[in-house]
Structure 1
Amino acid sequence: MEYEGICHKMRTALGETVETDRGTLAASVEYHLVLGSFDCPLTSSIGQEIELEWTGRIFCLSCGTKTPKSYSQGHCYKCLISKASCDMCMMKPETCHFHLGTCREPDWALDVCFQPHIVYLANSSAPKVGITRITQMPTRWLDQGATQALPIMQVNSRKLSGLVEVLLAQDIADKTDWRALLKGAADPIDLIAIRDQLIEKHRVELDQLQQESPHELVMLSDERIREFSYPVSHYPAKVTAHNFDKKPVIHGKLNGIKGQYLLLDTGVLNLRKFGGYELKVRV
């Protein structure tokens, strides 16, 4: 089978969710390859040979213009400097400048940044804190390859979620070690205990944020840990990354999928990194 189109990040979905004897909620992860409007189940291809060829062309995922280089996971330079979704405050929400009247796209911000957000703990390669819009659960966790996740707070804006994240990141990582992520499944950890320790340690600062933003920060004390299992037959002994810019044709046996990575017996490929690249994919 051969497919061709503009690469987007893989689409994820959960299988049936079941309650474990530990009281957690567990589900398997399924993947779909997305090339433009084409959407193909990919999980069933585990164990098969796959070849991905970059045609040499890149198109902006926002405006569709052909571009010599991809910025910010699939944008042309014009969109990079004009789109609010490419602004630094998306990476560092605590630096939001909407209140200063300098937001690139105020209407977009109202639809995205001023919507309910979740502050969560996750376990990908080690415990970490993160944020996401409430509508992006569990997609955000699956894109990060998390094997466990626990929502701990709900807030009413992206900036407030960023302030909480920065506060908690003093004691816990806010980034994922992608190499460790791809070396195997993370050992289970007690995210509830970590949540309680973090909240207790930062009680004064969190109370102050609640006073400054009444009714905008809610503790989620009754949430249960979610557990995710990924379609991986076996993990690589050594993690070597493929790059279309250096090698336009990549092939190998598909041993698994985790996060946005294809785990081939010849190396790993982060498809999200190459958003906008025109690919031919042969399975």
Structure 2
Amino acid sequence: MDELNTPHTGVLGRMPSVLSNGTASYLLPVGDARLPIDQYLGAHVSLSPTGRIFCLNCGRKTSRSFAQGHCYPCFTSLARCDLCIMKPETCHFEQGTCREPEWGLTHCFAPHLVYLSNASGPKVGITKPGQVPVRWIDQGASQALVIFRVATRYQSGLVEALLRERVSDRTQWQKMLKGAPLPVDLPALRDSLMDELGENIDALINRFAPGEIQPVNESVWSLEFPVSTWPEKVKAWNLDRHDRVEGVLQGIKGQYLLLDTGVINIRKFGGYEVTLDIEPIAGHAAPATDDLFS
């Protein structure tokens, strides 16, 4: 890893994360550099957009970013940018209209999980087994509980749509960034949902082959985030409106950097080229990239 006392210029990307001893750890990608940003709490950080935006899929320069880092042609042609990714119950593969049938077979016709989590309050969501616990870190969840294992993404969407009659599928991001939410008894919530929606759940399970939709009884995950100070008011920085974002780094949660001057959603600005400068903390050597990511 390069020393952080030299500015880096490059394209932003989603921050990779891992869970170590119950606490999230992050790398901040800026071009080819991958910086262990959570090790710099207390340092002064500045991000200055160069005015250039690149598609994270094809690399072409674009005047505007769509769907967290895509140019318009990729946004309108990639299956991963279609509405059915956000609402899997609207999958149209069987109609022969999937944008990328081979991609769909690989990514959508694969096992998925339905879970309950607690980021700003209880919510329901879906993910792939290989995205546990990264999905929950990205979401800023302090608790998570897998409640169904299903055979396809379409089935996970059907289960999620049924459960969101009682539980939201959204996170209140501003509330999430103000601190850890009040604990929720997720197993009790799961049991309550099973009781209230039992007939509908059974009917959905019986629509498919045995074992394709399975309720499960798993343990609750607990997650913490590297935050020294929570903001009292959440003000969002925007690289489209500000030519320089700067402040003292007070934490990372979800895909947000928490500065003493406001917060910035790094994933939202994927594809934006920026110059990053971090003033080293007095008396601290620049850390090496965390072995957790190697």
The Cα offsets for residues 32-75 of structure 1, whole Å up to 9 and x where unpaired, read as: 10123321111111111000111100000000000000000000
Letter of the 1:44 counterpart: Q
2:75 equivalent in structure 1? 80
Q: Counterparts of 1:51 and 1:265 in 2: how far apart (Å)?
A: 12
Mapping for residues 39-188 of structure 1, pairs under 5 Å: 39-188=34-183
Separation of aligned partners in 2, 1:254 and 1:226: 27
- Show the counterpart of 1:24: none
What are the Cα deviations for residues 197-234 of structure 1, in whole angstroms up to 9, with x where unaligned? 0011111111111111122111111x100001100011
TM-score of the aligned structures, taking structure 2 as reference length: 0.91
Aligned 8 A contact 2:55 2:61 in 1: yes
**Percent identical residues:** 49
In structure 2, what is the Cα distance between the partners aligned to 1:136 and 1:248?
34
How large is the RMSD of aligned CA atoms in angstroms? 0.8
Mapped to 1, the partners of 2:31 and 2:98 lie a distance apart of 29
Matched, 1:216 2:212: yes
SS, match of residue 171 in structure 2: coil
Aligned to 1:270: 265
The one of 239, 253, 257 equivalent to 2:252 is: 257
**Could you tell me which residue of structure 2 aligns to residue 4 of structure 1?**
9
Structure 1: stretches of 5+ with no match in the other structure? 17-26
State the SS of the aligned residue for 1:253. Answer: strand
Question: Equivalents in 2 of 1:106, 1:134: separation in Å?
Answer: 22
Structure 2: runs of 5 or more not aligned: 279-294
Aligned partner of 2:239 in structure 1 is 244
Equivalent residues in 2 for 1:226-241, closer than 5 Å:
226-241=221-236
What secondary structure sits across from 1:51 in the alignment? strand
Q: How does the TM-score come out when normalised to structure 1?
A: 0.95
| 3-state DSSP of counterpart to 2:64 | coil
Aligned twin of 1:19: none
Could you report, residue by residue, the CA deviation over 1:99-119 in whole angstroms, capped at 9, with x for unpaired residues?
000000000011111111000
C-alpha separation in 1, matches of 2:79 and 2:197: 31
Q: How many residues are matched?
A: 272
Which letter maps to 2:102? D
Is residue 36 from structure 1 mapped to residue 34 from structure 2 by the alignment? Answer: no
Contact residue 9 and residue 274 of structure 2 kept, 8 A: yes
- Paired amino acid for 1:135: G
Whether the aligned pair in 1 keeps the contact of 2:30 and 2:276 (CA below 8 Å) is no
